Amino acid sequence: MHHKTSSWPGSAAKRSATRPTIAATLLLSAACLTTPALADDATPETVVVTATRTPQPIDKTGQSVTVITAADLKTQQTDVLTDILAETPGLMVNRNGGTGQPTSISLRGAETGQTVVLIDGVRLNDPSATDEGAILSDVLVNNIDRVEILRGPQSTLYGSDAIGGVVNILSKRGGDAPFGGTASAEGGSFDTFHLNAAANGTTDNVEYGAALNWFDTGGISAADSRNGNTEADGYENFGATFNTRAHFGQDWSLDLRGYYTHGHDDFDDNYPPPNYQISDSAANNTNELFAGYAGVNANFGMLQNRVAFIATRGTRDYFDSASDTIHLNYDYEGSASRFEYQGIVDFNADNQLTFGAETEERSFRNDNFGINALYSPPVQLGHDRVSSGYGQYQTTLFDQLTLTGGVRYDDDAEFGGHTSLKFAGAWNIPGWDTTLRANYGDGFKAPSLYELYSQYKNPFHNLKPETAEGWEVGADHTFLDGGLRTSLTYFERHTHNQIDFISTFTPPYGYYENLDRTRASGIEAEIAAKLGDTLTLSADYTNLTAKNVLTGTELARRPHNSASGTLTWLPLPKLTLGTSVIFVGDRFDDGGNFVPLASNTTVNVFGSYAIMDRLELFGRVENLFDERSEDVYGYGRMGLAAYGGLRAAF
């Protein structure tokens, strides 16, 4: 059974449906009213690593975690990771047009840069990006084993940028044989082609995984074609990843990991300021990211140790904007180098101490060329260093109550010291198949290097760090020996000194400012059901209120209602069919609430057939009803599209 796992063991959860009164209601009602067949076997325990930075059963973490498995990615034929992230409770995805265009996520109402994105322990957050968010448009599915999404402030273990939560991508490594792998090829609408090859295995004392990925599409007009824009904006992406562990005896091992992406996309300018009208243009840009990890693991009795060096370097070049079609317009470069130590002491099966120290240096460079250098400095430079120490203790009492407490201290070279706290509890009520959970966490995020040193830095005073406090309470319950699982969570977060961009009518046409306070609160409801031996359903609904406390206005692009559902059917042993539905409710495109965005519903269908043991034919139709309502004002959406291909295992 292919499913996604959310805040209960072995469960499935996703994100949206039609209208809350139609699609979400139908999906949730179907799960509740249909009596699932009893599970043949006990549901296997789901283990996650993101919540505590150590492997833990999900029902002991006391936190909301969604797990997207390799089976989910394969069944839904996901190419771009954010397409399936949009099916996560409380997570909103916004994209400025078609595939490859700038993409942002909001986790429980937080900003993109307030969520840490990791792949195999390496932060993908770009120090040169506006708010140091990850360049998510270039993150394609490439040899991914699982993705864990941890919701709520997580600064105790993950430091700055984790106010909203953590998205942790884990690639495949090792296997039962010395060599194995997969290869796939697909094509379809908008002149789209996608090739992928991956290899995994274990030889003697070495576990490895590696993959190559190439994607190319003619795309759609980034500026909404309904406004008369006809020029298609294409996208090309090449990616590579490897993950290797070499064992030297039972207690020593060496990890080497690497990640690379090179993306090139055409886009449409929003020019001139301050109105920023989006229309066809010849603008294009190239993004490149190198990331590497080298770590040593050593076990001394009950003490496990990890020492690692991590480095990233990203560049972004912009050409042919409406303001300058002659020169390279802008060149951004961001880099980070990080040393980490983590220790784990397992006193016994019920008591564990996790502690560590980290230091990271980030740098930023922006070169302005041509006429752009006339109203902003030709070169802008910035750097910062943060050194941190943390500790967390977890204990389980009476085989049913797990308590976790943690503290972290960050010393920022620019903004001084900050202490973060985390408390969590999970009570697995004996004989009830019920878990009650609660947690509290606070967060800290220093202004990004771009906000501090670009031409848009605040001309009046120094920016302050963003801080947040968040908490949640929830309950998970399993019925009918695992055939039906439900979850309900209430969450709340208060953010202080949140940073936003203020537009002006004179060059450089804006600057960054602390908004004062924002508040986000809401409810997440999830259901997963096994409807007989061949049919599975997952559905969820999120009710979110995210506002600027000072003005009373809603935060931009945060819908009050969102929902999703996925239905998967295996009518024949070799045939899989399914559909997913994503609903996004009414919201505003701007913080002043002057530009409304209509609700929209996206329906996808997918299917696959195993021609033989190691060869599979697959196909899907995306946006079945050609929903064209804008996610971002002025930018178009991918319309009705069909794709198909072959997948081989060897």
- Alpha-carbon distance 178 to 199, whole Å? 10
CA-closest candidate to residue 310, choices 289, 338, 276 = 338
- Alpha-carbon distance 300 to 304, whole Å? 6
- Alpha-carbon distance 465 to 444, whole Å? 7
- Kindly tell me if the per-residue pLDDT of 287 is higher than 90: yes
Looking only at the bridges linking them, the beta strands covering 144-151 and 165-171 are antiparallel
- Cis peptide bond prior to 447, omega within 30° of 0: no
SS3 category, 29: helix
CA-closest candidate to residue 194, choices 213, 180, 209, 176 = 213
Which region among 58-67, 501-510, 572-581 has the lowest average model confidence (pLDDT)? 501-510
- Kindly tell me if the per-residue pLDDT of 21 is higher than 50: no
CA-closest candidate to residue 603, choices 567, 557, 561 = 567
- Residues of the chain above pLDDT 70, percent: 92
- What's the whole-model pTM score? 0.92
DSSP one-letter code for 23: I
- Alpha-carbon distance 44 to 478, whole Å? 13
The one-letter code for the residue type at 516 is D
- Alpha-carbon distance 82 to 618, whole Å? 21
Which region among 60-64, 102-106, 319-323 has the lowest average model confidence (pLDDT)? 319-323
* Residues contacting residue 16 through CB under 8 Å, at least 6 positions apart: 23, 24, 86, 87, 540, 562, 563, 564, 565, 581, 582, 583, 584, 601, 602
- Kindly tell me if the per-residue pLDDT of 583 is higher than 90: yes
Q: What is the pLDDT of residues 39-49, one digit of tens each?
A: 333 344 678 88
Top pLDDT among 77 and 59 is at 77
How high is the pLDDT of residue 12?
33
Q: Which tokens belong to 70?
A: 């390799």
- Alpha-carbon distance 398 to 426, whole Å? 12
- Alpha-carbon distance 326 to 581, whole Å? 44
Helix H or strand E encompassing 210? strand 206-220
Q: What is the pLDDT of residues 438-469, one digit of tens each?
A: 999 998 899 999 999 998 999 999 999 999 99
- Alpha-carbon distance 172 to 54, whole Å? 18
Say if CB 525 and CB 488 are below 8 A apart.
yes
SS3 category, 156: helix
Say if CB 636 and CB 628 are below 8 A apart.
yes
- Residues of the chain above pLDDT 90, percent: 80
Q: State the pLDDT confidence band at 84, using cuts at 50, 70 and 90.
A: very high
Q: State the pLDDT confidence band at 606, using cuts at 50, 70 and 90.
A: very high
Say if CB 483 and CB 37 are below 8 A apart.
yes
10 Å CB burial of residue 602 (0-12, 13-18, 19+) is buried
- Kindly tell me if the per-residue pLDDT of 15 is higher than 50: no
How high is the pLDDT of residue 42?
34
Can you tell me the mean pLDDT for 515-541?
A: 94
Q: State the pLDDT confidence band at 326, using cuts at 50, 70 and 90.
A: confident
How high is the pLDDT of residue 177?
93
DSSP structure string for 325-341: EEEEEEEEEEEEEEEEE
- Alpha-carbon distance 529 to 567, whole Å? 10
Q: Using the CB atoms, write b or e for 247-278: b if 16+ within 10 Å.
A: eeeeeebebebbbbbbbbbbbbbbeebeeeeb
Q: What is the pLDDT of residues 394-404, one digit of tens each?
A: 999 999 999 99
Say if CB 328 and CB 319 are below 8 A apart.
yes
How high is the pLDDT of residue 364?
94
Q: State the pLDDT confidence band at 427, using cuts at 50, 70 and 90.
A: very high
- Alpha-carbon distance 445 to 429, whole Å? 37
CA-closest candidate to residue 316, choices 271, 279, 270, 284 = 284
Can you tell me the mean pLDDT for 291-320?
A: 96
Mean pLDDT of all residues in the chain? 90
Q: What is the pLDDT of residues 531-544, one digit of tens each?
A: 888 999 999 999 99
DSSP one-letter code for 24: I
Q: State the pLDDT confidence band at 374, using cuts at 50, 70 and 90.
A: low
- Kindly tell me if the per-residue pLDDT of 19 is higher than 50: no
The one-letter code for the residue type at 58 is I
CA-closest candidate to residue 148, choices 44, 341, 5, 247 = 5
Beta strands in 303-415 (DSSP E): 303-321, 324-348, 351-368, 379-397, 401-412
Can you tell me the mean pLDDT for 161-186?
A: 95
10 Å CB burial of residue 550 (0-12, 13-18, 19+) is exposed
Distances from the Cα of 92 to the Cα of 66, 104, 334, angstroms: 14, 8, 26
Q: State the pLDDT confidence band at 274, using cuts at 50, 70 and 90.
A: low
Which region among 270-279, 289-298, 353-362 has the lowest average model confidence (pLDDT)? 270-279
* Residues contacting residue 197 through CB under 8 Å, at least 6 positions apart: 181, 182, 183, 184, 211, 212
10 Å CB burial of residue 620 (0-12, 13-18, 19+) is buried
The one-letter code for the residue type at 613 is D
Q: State the pLDDT confidence band at 482, using cuts at 50, 70 and 90.
A: confident
How high is the pLDDT of residue 505?
84
Q: Using the CB atoms, write b or e for 27-43: b if 16+ within 10 Å.
A: bbebbeeeebbebeeeb
- Kindly tell me if the per-residue pLDDT of 55 is higher than 60: yes
What residue ranges define each of the domains in the chain, with the CATH number in brackets? Answer: 20-572+582-597+631-649 (2.40.170.20)
How high is the pLDDT of residue 25?
35
Say if CB 526 and CB 539 are below 8 A apart.
yes
Can you tell me the mean pLDDT for 570-590?
A: 97
Q: What is the largest CA-CA distance in the chain?
A: 71
Distances from the Cα of 419 to the Cα of 385, 408, 440, 444, angstroms: 16, 6, 14, 8
Backbone angle region of 62, left / alpha / beta, with phi > 0 → left and psi within -120 to 50 → alpha: left
- Alpha-carbon distance 157 to 56, whole Å? 15
Can you tell me the mean pLDDT for 147-160?
A: 91
